[in-house]
Structure 1
């Protein structure tokens, strides 16, 4: 692209929250926290004072509001993805946000977190690095243990429950779930951290991050009466559990259906699925999702995973001002990773290749910003590409690509640098 664009300054020091903004952050958070009657259960954090590290799970924007409530009036720096800064960079910096491009090895972020701790503030990190697709734990980077060891301060976790079922990633409509809950727990004191090995730290973090929002919903009898509660669910459950066909799933109102075999399921008020023909393959939504993962894993292990060549639109986000249309091209996701090639608006070629070992997971969006549909975003340290396959010209699932990215990484690297609960059982 001939036009040169200013790049986001990733090296800027983290800003301590301006004194006049601290009460504003809690005032902006409280309406939703009160609306959903959020309850925070403290365990060892009653007298916890900054500096410390706070690791949070990530299901919805509500997570940030609960974190603000949990630590107030302490100052904090929050690690936030670059698209969160669009059109409001100064404000987000002033309230303490640190910019990160997702799934990149960013040594600058480590330096910024060290400065946060030196300032005597709270370093708030969302290590799953994306909203959960179905309200369960995502993969965690193994570097977490090393980072905590390096920062040499207490480590706490904030695990929220109810945020996914209230406003799922695949349909953000607020369902009015209340009360929501959060576990605010101290994992390590400074002294315990110093004596623990990196593996012990990682094990404890992984154990603390086990959650399942749909199980929590059922256990607490949380009924959701919203008439569109299943709409968008086909984005996650892209493969029919009955006929096994991919990319033909549909959803409307409270129903999920397959456009290939005609099978239909109802999503109940308790978040379970019920087959309308009397047979229910998976009543628990995360079980269906993990079944899809197993099928992707089989493709990977047979070394025949391939998305095919998909026609795509590519937008870029070099800074926090606005998205820029890069051009049109193709995306292939296969046993070698992601390959994006095309021609930009000036007629020049562009290319991004992300090998399997370079990505332990990837970020996806459903109907991103309501403009061009589902997308995969791929990052370098200087840029983020938003890649939109054309639904009128190809069959695809960005959910499958996300699952395949994780399974390819595990297959090719022997699960190096990522953590799942099964690795500690």
Structure 2
């Protein structure tokens, strides 16, 4: 049965099921208190407004929506989430009972925007993560003006839910969550009047600056850094950090248990329970933590490509979907080489098929699973690429992020007004 919620004179919206939502929230509250000792710092101005709110937050872990719902208890919230999450085999039906709003990648999502507007009109808050993808290294992922334009149109108060410790509690490259400590701050970013009166550029600046946080800076400000429990705290870190700063080789770093090391030289770093590097005997630590290494890596990638370096890997392409009206490709699986250079990203197939030029520069954030796969658009055809080199996905996310940020002058939003 289709669960719809109606108000006189207004189109219906997909309603969340209160019993399912409330029961799950109670369970999650107990679980997160046990695993992460979560503390909440709530802006009293939020209590003076009955809502509904348009809610934004930093996107660093799978459980970000849970943290948001716990931080704003009492507010009915619908979450905007990607289609692939909504279609998860076991949890997809549960998510739909919670009233999620689906967004489909590589498409113009008029229906999603309409559902957001209707939800707000029906008195239901809506939460959206402007970064769209969980952060790979733990810092802000650039994003365009779409969220700022939506805020301008809605003319509703905007709340931020910023979590500290969530990334270290479950880094995107890690297989499992890591119990520790988490702090969550909720703030009123904009009143309804400010959302209506400020320009899109001014709203964007406020969004960017409010979301520009990271767990490592939070750790360094604490009197005693929080510790996160994991026996394999560096396992798969090389999915995000692949470029060796000692021998200056891309795709050279490897990881195991508590160690990040180079497969080509002497570099060996240990990761402690607070998320920081400590040097192995005879190997000084060139960076304090993985985010510093990832930032250097992004700059080094940009510099190397400008200097003419070409980086390639063996790769398998699987046809994922056709988002247009044209025909599907004849071959649904192709093998060959992915090649990244200053000219962009190309796939050279084995055999006589024509090369494919992937235009990934138009997005700051590729849909991917670091170390495993990345979705690549070829016009209306979407391929899922499985590079052989485990660091190649991070290489591509670094590349498109740098090019997009430069083309869209994203860095100027980070400067203080």
Rounded Cα–Cα distance in structure 2 between residues aligned with 1:37 and 1:148: 33
Assess if the C-alpha contact under 8 Å between 2:313 and 2:387 holds in 1: no
Deviation of 1:382 after TM superposition, in Å, equals 8.1
CA distances 1:154-174 after superposition (whole Å, capped 9, x unpaired): 111111111111111111322
Displacement of 1:72: 2.8
Aligned positions of 1:394-405 closer than 5 A: 397-405=392-400
Distance 1:119-1:340 versus aligned 2 partners, 3 A rule: farther
Q: Could you tell me which of 201, 216, 232 is aligned with 1:214?
A: 216
1:191 deviates by 0.9
Q: Report what 1:67 is aligned to.
A: 68
Q: Provide the alpha-carbon RMSD of the alignment.
A: 3.1
Listed as ranges, the matches of 1:271-286 within 5 Å are 271-276=275-280, 277=282, 279-286=284-291
Q: What residue in structure 2 maps to residue 311 of structure 1?
A: 315
Matched position secondary structure for 1:158: strand
Matched, 1:176 2:175: no
Q: How does 1:73-88 map to 2 (within 5 A)?
A: 73-85=74-86, 86-87=88-89, 88=91
Question: 1:228 & 1:410 partners in 2: Cα distance?
Answer: 34
Q: Which aligned runs of 4 or more in structure 1 are off by greater than 6 angstroms?
A: 349-352, 380-383
The answer to whether the aligner puts 1:388 opposite 2:386 as a matched pair is: yes
**Which SS does the other structure have where 1:386 is aligned?**
strand
Match of 2:227 among 196, 199, 223: 223
Alignment check: 8 A CA contact 2:148 2:204 kept: yes
Of 297, 300, 306, the residue aligned with 1:292 is 297
Tell me, in whole angstroms, the C-alpha distance in 1 between the residues paired with 2:198 and 2:116.
Answer: 21
CA shift, 1:78, in A, is 0.8
Alignment of 1:353-364 (within 5 A): 354-364=358-368
Using the TM superposition, give the Cα deviation of residue 119 of structure 1 relative to its aligned residue in structure 2, in angstroms: 1.8
Q: Which residue does the alignment assign to 1:188? A: 190
Structure 1 residue aligned with 2:98, among 95, 98, 115? Answer: 95
1:242 Cα offset (Å) = 0.9
Q: Deviations over 1:329-361 (max 9, x none)?
A: 344444454455769xxxxx8997542553232
Cα 1:328–1:279, aligned 2, differ >3 Å: closer, same or farther?
same
Q: Structure 1 residues 189 and 89, CA, compared in 2 at 3 Å: closer, same or farther? A: same
> Structure 1 residues 13 and 381 mapped into 2: Cα distance closer, same or farther (>3 Å)?
farther
- 2:47 is paired with a residue whose SS is coil
Cα deviation for residue 287 of structure 1 reads 1.2
Distance 2:349 2:103 in 1: 26
For residue 328 of structure 1, give the secondary structure of its aligned residue in structure 2: strand
Structure 2 Cα separation of the partners of residues 172 and 140 of structure 1: 26
1:20 matched to 2:12? The reply is no
SS of 2:46's equivalent in the other structure is: coil
Tell me, in whole angstroms, the C-alpha distance in 2 between the residues paired with 1:15 and 1:419.
Answer: 38
2:158 aligned partner: 155
Structure 2: which 5+ runs fail to align? 1-10, 324-330
Q: TM-score, normalised by structure 2?
A: 0.84
Q: Could you state the TM-score of these two structures normalised by the residue count of structure 1?
A: 0.82
Distance in 2, matches of 1:352 and 1:339, equals 6
Aligned to 1:129: 132
Distance 1:91 1:383 in 2: 30
1:182, distance to aligned residue in structure 2 (A): 0.9
1:20 counterpart SS class:
helix
Which of 229, 232, 239 is the equivalent residue of 1:235? Answer: 239
Secondary structure at the counterpart of residue 178 of structure 2? coil
Instruction: Confirm or deny: 8 A CA contact 1:342 1:350 kept in the other structure.
Output: yes
In the alignment, the residues of structure 1 paired with residue 210 and residue 415 of structure 2 have an alpha-carbon distance, to the nearest angstrom, of 14
Higher-RCO chain (CA-CA 8 Å, sequence separation at least 6): 1
Q: 1:58: how far off? A: 1.2
2:41 matched to which residue of 1?
41
Q: Partner of 2:335 in structure 1?
A: 329
- Distance across 2 between alignment mates of 1:381 and 1:154: 38
In the alignment, the residues of structure 2 paired with residue 328 and residue 210 of structure 1 have an alpha-carbon distance, to the nearest angstrom, of: 39
Q: Which structure 1 residue ranges, 5 or more long, are not aligned?
A: 1-11, 320-324, 344-348, 368-373
Residue 106 of structure 1: how far off its partner (Å): 3.0
- Residues 335 and 244 of structure 1: CA distance in aligned 2, closer, same or farther (over 3 Å): closer
Deviations 1:70-128 (A, max 9, x none): 23333222111122122254432231112223465533322221122122111110111
Larger mean CA deviation between 208-217 and 18-27 belongs to 18-27
Number of residue pairs aligned between Structure 1 and Structure 2: 392
Q: Any conservation in 1 of the 2:269–2:278 contact (CA below 8 Å)? A: yes
**In 1, distance between residues paired with 2:319 and 2:28?**
32
Offset at residue 264 of structure 1 (A): 0.9
- Verify the 8 A CA contact 1:14 1:93 in the aligned structure 2: no
Give the direction of change, closer, same or farther, for the CA distance of 1:153–1:383 in structure 2 (3 Å limit).
Answer: farther
Partner SS state of residue 308, structure 1: strand
Residues 380-401 of structure 1: CA distance to partner in whole angstroms, max 9, x if unpaired?
998754321234xxx7521111
